Structure 1
Amino acid sequence: MKVALLSDCYLPRLGGIEVQTHDLAGHLVALGHEVEVFTATPGPRGEMHGQVTVVDGIPVHRLAVRLPWELPVNPAAPRELRRRLVAGGFEVAHVQTGVVSPFAWDCTRTTVSLGLPTAMTWHCMLGTAAPAFRAAGFVRGWAERGVAMSAVSQAASEPLRRIVGEAGEVGVLPNGIDVSRWRPERATGAAEPSGPLRLVTAMRLAPRKRPAALVELVHRAAELAGPGSIELTVLGDGPERHRVEARLRAHDIDWVHLPGRVPRDELRGRYARSDLYLSPSRLESFGIAALEARTAGLPVVGRAGSGIGEFVADGLGGRIVADDDEMTRVIADLAADRPAVERMRAWNLAHPPAQDWPCVAALAVAEYHRAAALARVRAARG
């Protein structure tokens, strides 16, 4: 099968959609499919205006134009995209989208107009934007025209199902990870009960991820648990870093560490030296970093209604909490109950997650067959 993966953003940008699209491409090729990527992201040397670069053996069509902040917008892209899709003999298109994805939506209009079977995966929590999508009607319209809709988690799919209604089904196509890469080579020993509970998180320091709120709730947990009970490492960087640093100064906290963004290969070692992973975001559609940490054995404490529930069983592999107050209490309780932490770690290590790339790639191919079937039905109806 010849597959076109279409995404606003792609490598060399680094983010969830970018990395997932790249990894999906590689695993589809490993299954014997032919894959090319179309994106509005310039290449590593500024390639744009339709130039093709090759990333890990995958051709990448750079349909970008020069704009401030390299915004993924190109009103001229659909015509050239149409020409390349037809000339390339593609059999299916797979669109990766978020709440605001102008290039991906232009791609969808193009593939639908061509009658090309199209799968569309939503990597976001629609949240307060859902009523606007419902009123605009274009998402439901695409479903009516045979686009196979999916989201990365059950939590992300629910508002999408309400928007699509009876126009079509919404599947779940989760993000994937290399499970063998994240599982520890050997079991790690329990932390010394007298030492601090070592908390860790990996996130972009942006408002949606709530790093400043995390520092506040962990500070409250430390007050409940007592001096020297907790230590927190926040891996990542972003525009909220100054707010986080201001909170630390305001509370005179010296047990929160901000090493910045670290390479993925370094994360395994960081997780091996930690006890508990925290995910405070309310709008976490999936939580790739949390899944990687859970695969490494770390119990995960995350928010109810987010994608964390896809791979964390409450009370077994971690805790699912209703709000910041409950997260505060859970952290404080676990600081005093190390056996509970170790039981959850052991459960995670004994139960690898289902979101391994071979399984996820197979689910993606199933979505492509669903899109092809929907396109045939649409063509038969005229």
Structure 2
Amino acid sequence: MRVLMVSWEYPPVIVGGLGRHVHHLAIDLAGMGHEVTVITRRPSGTDSLTHPTTDERSDGVRVIAVAEDPHEFRFGTDMMSWTLAMGHSFVRAGLRVLAGDQETAWVPDVVHAHDWLVAHPAITLAEFFDVPLVATIHATEAGRHSGWVSGSTNRQVHSVEWWLANEADALITCSESMRDEVNRLFGPEEIQVIHNGIDVDTWPFAPRPQTAGPAELLFAGRLEYEKGVQDLLAALPRVRRTHPGTTLTIAGTGTQLDWLMETARKHKVTRSVRFVGALDHNALVAAMQRCAAIVLPSRYEPFGIVALEAAATGIPLVVSTAGGLGEAVDDGMSGFTFQPADVAGIATAIRKTLDDPAAAAVRARRARDRLTEDFSWREVAERTEGVYLAAKRRVRHAYGRPTIIERPLPERDPGK
């Protein structure tokens, strides 16, 4: 098949797990013999002079990286305007490069949209080429905000998500919980669940070092409210009372860095916490192989690909049951889990992990063994191929505007 993927991130432009997902999926689909083209973007804040549109082949995948138009929209302050401008540039590039003339035209058999940010170009290109539209919903605005979308931008994002979900000829989510969430929010019932995958070779396993000194814990991810780092910081003093000297390394960047540093001061653990920023791949692997456990305290997590990556390295898992994390980790067998926002539960799960390093290593090995069987990218690609083959472009009908329930967001901690 000729597969056209549309994604707002793709290496080397990576924002989070979505970019890695699209990258691995595209490579494995190409390895299965499909012709895969990805339309994506050049880095933010660039232009067509410094970073012109490129059309190159990498790992068997054709990647069209579109130059940013010469505007002054910024994602952080003009998110919807920036997104619409990006979509417009994607459409122009798609029509110019793919449609071309009759001799050079490349017509896809299916268009695959990844999340709401590419809804407009993906819907437009699928309509232009008259082919089925498949959409993967990686997360939702309502989910990120505890179920409510009361702000103007929140409502705008929610409405585009609703439109994409209802316009798609086939829908994919990465976990059972996300399937239920998308069905509840947007209505479609026919949703395929295809978990994220893991390239085990790039996350090498290493036995846990048996050290007698204080333990080092690790968090890796975006520093945003929904990742729950504030709850981990609140739990750290309790852990240190029973396991003196325990430290926490926080790897990642995000909008809540200053607030989290203040939260560490509030809980009097500043000297026990290191904010190390974004680590490159090798440094992150080294941290996972060094630390006694990785703690992922998400309050909202559609899947949590970092849990798979961590498990591959052999680091014991301590994770919340939010979304896909609860589906990936079997409590007591492949790690320990706790309820989202449960500070006492976080502390208890960490203590049980640190109390018996040998048992923790056994659970970590089980986690790795499971992911190599159930979460390979080839398995993800084969299941996605099945969705492509079954998707049929249906008759289109006009849509009214979605009904959006406006209620104040639940009260949150200061700083959000």
Quickly name the TM-score band, shorter chain normalised.
0.7 to 0.9
1:306 paired with 2:319, answer no
Relative to structure 1, the CA distance from residue 54 to residue 339 in structure 2 (aligned partners, 3 Å threshold; closer, same or farther) is: same
Q: CA deviation at 1:65?
A: 2.2
Match of 1:121 among 136, 157, 168: 136
RMSD of aligned C-alpha atoms?
Answer: 3.2
Q: Give the equivalent residue in structure 2 for 1:369.
A: 389
Could you tell me whether the CA contact under 8 Å between 1:130 and 1:163 is conserved in 2?
no
Q: Higher mean Cα deviation, 268-277 or 245-254?
A: 245-254
1:157-198 deviation digits (Å, cap 9, x = unpaired): 111123454x551011222221132241xx525523x42233
Residues 284-299 of structure 1: matches in 2 within 5 Å? 284-299=301-316
Q: Give the equivalent residue in structure 1 for 2:219.
A: 201
Q: Higher mean Cα deviation, 136-145 or 34-43?
A: 136-145
Q: CA deviation at 1:123?
A: 0.9
Letter in 2 for 1:212: Q
Letter in 2 for 1:65: D
Letter in 2 for 1:259: V
Q: Higher mean Cα deviation, 272-281 or 247-256?
A: 247-256
Q: Give the equivalent residue in structure 1 for 2:262.
A: 246
Q: CA deviation at 1:369?
A: 1.1
Could you tell me whether the CA contact under 8 Å between 1:11 and 1:43 is conserved in 2?
no
Residues 132-147 of structure 1: matches in 2 within 5 Å? 147=169
1:65 paired with 2:87, answer no
Could you tell me whether the CA contact under 8 Å between 2:209 and 2:290 is conserved in 1?
no
Distance 2:327 2:301 in 1: 11
Relative to structure 1, the CA distance from residue 168 to residue 155 in structure 2 (aligned partners, 3 Å threshold; closer, same or farther) is: closer
Could you tell me whether the CA contact under 8 Å between 2:214 and 2:243 is conserved in 1?
no
Q: CA deviation at 1:210?
A: 3.0
Q: Higher mean Cα deviation, 334-343 or 264-273?
A: 334-343
Unaligned runs of 5+ in 2: 76-81, 100-104, 150-154, 397-416
Relative to structure 1, the CA distance from residue 268 to residue 40 in structure 2 (aligned partners, 3 Å threshold; closer, same or farther) is: closer
Identical aligned pairs, as a percentage?
A: 25
Unaligned runs of 5+ in 1: none
Letter in 1 for 2:54: V
Q: Per the alignment, in what secondary structure is the counterpart of residue 274 of structure 2?
A: strand
1:294-319 deviation digits (Å, cap 9, x = unpaired): 12122212222321123211111112
Relative to structure 1, the CA distance from residue 337 to residue 80 in structure 2 (aligned partners, 3 Å threshold; closer, same or farther) is: closer
Distance 2:74 2:27 in 1: 28
Could you tell me whether the CA contact under 8 Å between 1:278 and 1:300 is conserved in 2?
yes
Q: Give the equivalent residue in structure 1 for 2:26.
A: 25
TM-score by length of 1: 0.83
TM-score by length of 2: 0.77
Q: Give the equivalent residue in structure 1 for 2:348.
A: 329
Letter in 2 for 1:286: F
Distance 1:88 1:44 in 2: 30
Q: Give the equivalent residue in structure 2 for 1:233.
A: 249
Q: Per the alignment, in what secondary structure is the counterpart of residue 368 of structure 1?
A: helix
Q: Per the alignment, in what secondary structure is the counterpart of residue 257 of structure 1?
A: strand
Q: Per the alignment, in what secondary structure is the counterpart of residue 84 of structure 2?
A: coil
Could you tell me whether the CA contact under 8 Å between 2:3 and 2:34 is conserved in 1?
yes
Q: Give the equivalent residue in structure 1 for 2:380.
A: 360
Distance 1:44 1:54 in 2: 21
Q: Give the equivalent residue in structure 1 for 2:401.
A: none
1:104-136 deviation digits (Å, cap 9, x = unpaired): 344225414643111100111442586768xx8
1:175 paired with 2:176, answer no
Distance 1:147 1:319 in 2: 38
Relative to structure 1, the CA distance from residue 237 to residue 220 in structure 2 (aligned partners, 3 Å threshold; closer, same or farther) is: same
Could you tell me whether the CA contact under 8 Å between 2:111 and 2:125 is conserved in 1?
no
Relative to structure 1, the CA distance from residue 146 to residue 8 in structure 2 (aligned partners, 3 Å threshold; closer, same or farther) is: closer
Letter in 1 for 2:337: I
